[in-house]
Chains A and B, each alone.
Chain A
Amino acid sequence: MNYSKKIIDHFKNPRNYGKIKKPSAVGQVGNKVCGDVMKIYLKIENDIIKDIKFETLGCLVAIANTSLLTTLVKGKTIKQALKIKKEDLVKKFGKIPSIKIHCSFLAVEALKKAIENYYEKSTNSHVRRNR
């Protein structure tokens, strides 16, 4: 298959994979039945993503995309991270077979879910504190 050098590189040498021990937030999307599951761990301090790690069960595109996304997000503010669109990843990687595009969307969705999880957690802790 004719994937770009960049996508192959991220597949062969995935960046930031694994778990974060005490994450500020976790996001998971997909399910085993459809074949792709992505999990993103975030360590957030002062609204800045200090660390990000991922775990992916999926195809080449799914793995490479989550890896690429983590490199784009690390060190950025939450606001900046939320600005990353699904299409941005596709652009960065060049051509992806159209049937595989949904696999690349999952990475962005997992990140959004992790950030949502972060907000939920912090709201909850505010509520707890205010009580």
Chain B
Amino acid sequence: MKRIYLDYAATCPVDKRVLKEMLPFFSEKYGNTGSLHSFGQEAKIALEKARERIADLIFAQTEEIIFTSSATESNNLILKGLLKKNDHLIISCIEHPCIKETAKFLKTKGVLVTELKIDKQGFVKDLEKSIKKNTALISIIHASNEIGVVQDIEKISKVAKRNKILFHTDAAQSFGKIPINVKNIDFLTASSHKIYGPKGAALLYIKKGLKINPLLHGGGQEQGLRSSTVNIPAIVGFGKAAEIAKKEIQEDYKKQIKLRNKIITQALKIKACYLNGDQNKRLANNINLRFSNIEGEALTMKLDLEGIAVSTGSACASTKLEPSYVLLALGLKPQEAHGSLRISLGKYTREQEIDYFLKILSQSVKELRKLSPFK
């Protein structure tokens, strides 16, 4: 059976050009970046080249890029490394769990947290109203991992600046997919495996002059902010992936937005099918659909049996049975959230795959509705 991958928001395959760049760094150029000899030097050169390529993509300076192992780590690093007791933190209610849970942890350490609500389209609201005298950081996700809605971070960063508050954005889903300029951003999180790089590499951008504390103490790698032997193969891959993204960002965007809009238009023709999140200000690769009177996990499994990989909007399939908090925040009822599906496209997605997917989707929805006690 042919398999169709439509879950690029979860992770991506490694681009073959990326893999090629990485391979020598496993068994040939395996030096430690901290060593003085030629092995160490070639590793160090590769590390700095990767840093340049990444800095170039977001208009940063090289020394502003700190490599970590995951977006989760970067998000933990910025929140835990910056905030102290009695500081006030503003996040949104649709942050990824690695921000939400870290904020929850910091609450136990005396940090005060405000979660901004979102409107029916998925945009954060009431930011200015929530600012307090002791607000130390605003951290807002750039593009939602579930509904793909892209927040106006230019506007948010201006509000932060005007109030002399630092601004962080989790750009794991948007980095390399839409142009980002860090000029008005103090901290930014991005990840390698969402842009066709390997898993195990990510970054935290820290604007020059800003100081935070590390999570890991040790040998002092990454300007003392991330002690650990540097994961050179993964970082080299991340750098190459960023270089490719810089070149191909426009072309990928155009191609994906066409496919995305095709899916939205066609899917909305299915009876009682709705789009979750704003139709226009969303990632070119994200579609989040909702179907009345069927359950998202059953639909995901039905598609999987036909070789199509998508993700359920509801968290039912994973460890929790509660519906997605992002969808509930949009104002959906639990039963509506349970009937949701996330489809995320990538640069390897082809139009024939989308046609096949749409055919199977409408068929599967029909079949599940036949079984449902609610019509």
Contact = CB atoms under 8 A, between A and B. Distances in A.
B334 A33 contact: yes
B272 to A, nearest CB: 13
A57 B374 contact: yes
Interface stretch (B117-125, B211-219, B297-305, B347-355): B297-305
Contact of B372 (A1, A11, A55, A60): A55
B293 A57 contact: yes
Contact of A56 (B316, B317, B319, B373): B373
B323 interface: yes
Contacts, number: 66
A99 B301 contact: no
Contacts of B373: 28, 37-39, 55-57
Nearest to B301: A60
Interface in B298-339: 298, 301-302, 304-305, 314, 316-317, 319, 321, 323, 333-335, 338
A121 to B, nearest CB: 20
B132 interface: no
A110 to B, nearest CB: 10
A51 interface: no
A33 B335 contact: yes
Nearest to A28: B373
B295 interface: yes
Contacts of A39: 373
A55 to B, nearest CB: 4
Interface size class of B (residues with CB under 8 A): 20 to 34
B298 A37 contact: no
Contact of A34 (B294, B297, B301, B321): B321
A58 to B, nearest CB: 5
Given A8-B305, A12-B305, A37-B373, A60 B321 contact: no
B210 interface: no
A55 B373 CA distance: 5
Listed from nearest, the 10 A-B pairs whose CB atoms lie closest are A55-B373, A32-B335, A35-B338, A59-B297, A39-B373, A60-B301, A33-B334, A57-B372, A59-B298, A17-B371
22 contacts: A1-B301, A11-B302, A17-B370, A28-B373, A32-B338, A33-B333, A33-B335, A35-B316, A35-B321, A55-B372, A55-B373, A57-B294, A57-B371, A58-B298, A59-B295, A59-B301, A59-B316, A60-B298, A60-B301, A63-B298, A63-B371, A99-B321
Interface of B: 293-295, 297-298, 301-302, 304-305, 314, 316-317, 319, 321, 323, 333-335, 338, 370-374
